[in-house]
Amino acid sequence: MARVQAQYAAPRASLEVDNGLRPVVRHRRAGARDWFETSMTALGNDCWRAVFIVTELGRYEYQVMAWVDAFLSWRHDFVRRSTADEADIALALQTGAALVQDAAKRAAATAAKRLREIARVLAANGKLSARRELALGDELALLMQAHADCRSATTLEPPLPVIVEPERARFSSWYEMFPRSCGPPGSGHGTFSDCEALLPRIAALGFDVLYFPPIHPIGRVKRKGRNNTLVPAADDPGSPWAIGAEEGGHKAIHPALGTLNDFRRLVAAARKLGIDIALDIALQCAPDHPYVKEHPEWFRRRADGSIQYAENPPKKYEDIYPFNFATSTATALWEEIKGIFDYWIAQGVHVFRVDNPHTKPFALWEWLIGEIKRDHPQVIFLSEAFTRPRVMHRLAKLGFSQSYTYFAWRNTKAELTDYFTELTATDSREYFRPNAWPNTPDILTEYMQ
């Protein structure tokens, strides 16, 4: 379940039993010792729901616990008995008094004293109507609920998670901009300073996330030019997703954009205007990325001994080497990948767009996002996964805060109505947050043509 601060969590459960059922939801911050309990409310047809509020960033957990409550069963039966049969009512009150007396043994001093007093009144020969009113009153119901005998309870194990994130994870307006293209006309390669000058305008338009494609050095080996040519012109800048060159890799900045201090200044200036800078993390390398020499075992070899470049037949990406996640040194690779995120978090980045996460091991994301959110619960992850719905939903359950969607391909009123009904009115709304991009830099949908 995914929530944001100060939002209600409302778990539901189907519970069937032959007698008086007492279900509760136990909830707490992950790692806390004590549980809080919230009673579940019957919705009908054996469906129950509880509502509790989550107030802090991070991980909560909850579990459904239910048991057959003897007092609840007795009360349900007692309320239906005819008041005309006084002997029957009196006998039933004796049974109820025994249950109350038993609850007193489980209660602390003050509550135990009051429960014993009520038990004596129920069992005595006082006015029948007053005893009946006491038996069915709210005071006794609350006392018996607080001191119920739940030794036979069935509890859902293991506890289920609730991931609590910043409000921006639930809703945010993203603007994508290539920093190298944001300079004044005729000024050449854009810089972080040029981006900073545009921040007031971006804020005025209502955007609160400014998303950059990769800002790292771009490989020179096998660099692509215009129209995907392998013979680029001298001034062709290459693809930002061909990450890494002699200047550095995923933890370096393209020299033409500026320095690390320039980037930090941009992040701070954006935050003052209510804007988060989002970085694109693409787990792939240009042929001249330092990783290729330092860790050749992280890349797959073809039959001729050359490194396998990225392909999506008939497309070929000779300028990009994907990681081999089946490498014998996968642990070191995973740690290095986490280190990339840690590095940029240290520079003030709290929002990441992850390139094609569905083509990487699911276990990687479950571990990595869990580790990062444990130390930095304010971090938001956007999944750029145009793939099968079940896979998109799986990534959300693994920890991604938001996901790309099929919105770009939904054009008619009927298509939009059906799709947003699916996104907002089905169970997936509990964990899957859609990000509705009208297009992307490399996808020109029919409606945009």
The neighbouring-strand residues paired with 3 are 164
Residue 429, in any domain of the structure: yes
Question: In this structure, are 337 and 293 located in the same domain?
Answer: yes
**What is the full DSSP assignment across 137-193?**
SHHHHHHHHHT---TT-EE-SSPEEEEEE-HHHHS--EEE--GGG-SPTTS-S--HH
Q: Do 108 and 59 touch, CB atoms closer than 8 A?
A: no
Residue 159, in any domain of the structure: no
Question: Distances from the Cα of 446 to the Cαs of 108, 314, 409, 411, 414, in angstroms?
Answer: 70, 21, 8, 9, 17
Catalytic residue (choose from 16, 56, 355, 422): 355
Residue 152, in any domain of the structure: no
Question: Distances from the Cα of 299 to the Cαs of 250, 305, 393, in angstroms?
Answer: 16, 11, 29
Catalytic residue (choose from 342, 384, 427, 430): 384
355 is catalytic: yes
User: Rounded to an integer, what distance in angstroms lies between the CA atom of residue 246 and that of residue 237?
Assistant: 15
Close Cβ partners of 223 (under 8 Å, ≥ 6 residues apart): 232, 236, 238, 239, 242, 286, 319
Question: In this structure, are 142 and 177 located in the same domain?
Answer: no
pLDDT tens-place string over residues 294-327 = 999 999 999 999 999 999 888 899 999 999 999 9
Question: In this structure, are 59 and 18 located in the same domain?
Answer: yes
User: Rounded to an integer, what distance in angstroms lies between the CA atom of residue 77 and that of residue 262?
Assistant: 74
Tell me what the mean pLDDT of segment 369-381 comes to. Answer: 98
Q: What is the pLDDT of residue 85?
A: 87
- Number of domains, the chain: 3
| Predicted model pTM | 0.90
Question: In this structure, are 14 and 102 located in the same domain?
Answer: no
Question: In this structure, are 56 and 139 located in the same domain?
Answer: no
Question: In this structure, are 56 and 83 located in the same domain?
Answer: no
Omega of the bond leading into 184 within 30 degrees of 0 (cis): no
Question: Distances from the Cα of 59 to the Cαs of 37, 165, 408, in angstroms?
Answer: 17, 9, 32
Question: In this structure, are 380 and 351 located in the same domain?
Answer: yes
Q: What is the pLDDT of residue 120?
A: 96
Residue 67: is its pLDDT beyond 90?
yes
Burial grade of 357 (CB within 10 A; 0-12, 13-18, 19 or more): buried
Question: In this structure, are 183 and 75 located in the same domain?
Answer: no
Tell me what the mean pLDDT of segment 186-207 comes to. Answer: 96
Residue 123, in any domain of the structure: yes
**Mean of per-residue pLDDT scores for the chain:** 95
Question: In this structure, are 319 and 190 located in the same domain?
Answer: yes
User: Rounded to an integer, what distance in angstroms lies between the CA atom of residue 239 and that of residue 48?
Assistant: 53
- Domain at 113, CATH number: 1.20.58
The neighbouring-strand residues paired with 181 are none
Question: In this structure, are 307 and 405 located in the same domain?
Answer: yes
Residue 84: is its pLDDT beyond 80?
no
Question: In this structure, are 213 and 112 located in the same domain?
Answer: no
Residue 38: give the domain boundaries: 2-63
Categorize the per-residue pLDDT at 64 as very low, low, confident or very high, splitting at 50, 70 and 90: very high
Residue 158, in any domain of the structure: no
Specify the pairing of strand 58-68 against strand 21-29. Answer: antiparallel
- Domain at 243, CATH number: 3.20.20.80
Percent of the chain with pLDDT over 70: 100
User: Rounded to an integer, what distance in angstroms lies between the CA atom of residue 160 and that of residue 1?
Assistant: 8
Q: Of 17, 43, 63, which one is at a domain's C-terminal end?
A: 63
Categorize the per-residue pLDDT at 82 as very low, low, confident or very high, splitting at 50, 70 and 90: confident
Q: Do 5 and 57 touch, CB atoms closer than 8 A?
A: yes
Terminal-to-terminal C-alpha distance of the chain: 38
Q: Do 365 and 337 touch, CB atoms closer than 8 A?
A: no
Question: In this structure, are 34 and 125 located in the same domain?
Answer: no
Which H helix or E strand runs over 449?
A: none
Q: Of 118, 146, 174, which one is at a domain's C-terminal end?
A: 146
Please, what is the Cα angle at 437 between 436 and 441, to 5 degrees?
Answer: 165
Residue 156, in any domain of the structure: no
Tell me what the mean pLDDT of segment 228-245 comes to. Answer: 94
Residue 382, in any domain of the structure: yes
Q: What is the pLDDT of residue 19?
A: 79
DSSP E strands in 306-376: the ranges are 310-312, 315-317, 321-322, 351-355
Close Cβ partners of 71 (under 8 Å, ≥ 6 residues apart): 20, 96, 99, 100, 103, 144, 148
Where do runs of H (alpha helix) occur along 226-349?
260-272, 290-294, 330-346
Q: What is the pLDDT of residue 341?
A: 99
Q: Of 100, 115, 146, which one is at a domain's C-terminal end?
A: 146
Residue 292, in any domain of the structure: yes
pLDDT tens-place string over residues 389-413 = 999 999 999 999 999 999 999 999 9
What phi and psi, each to the nearest 5 degrees, are found at residue 200? -60, -40
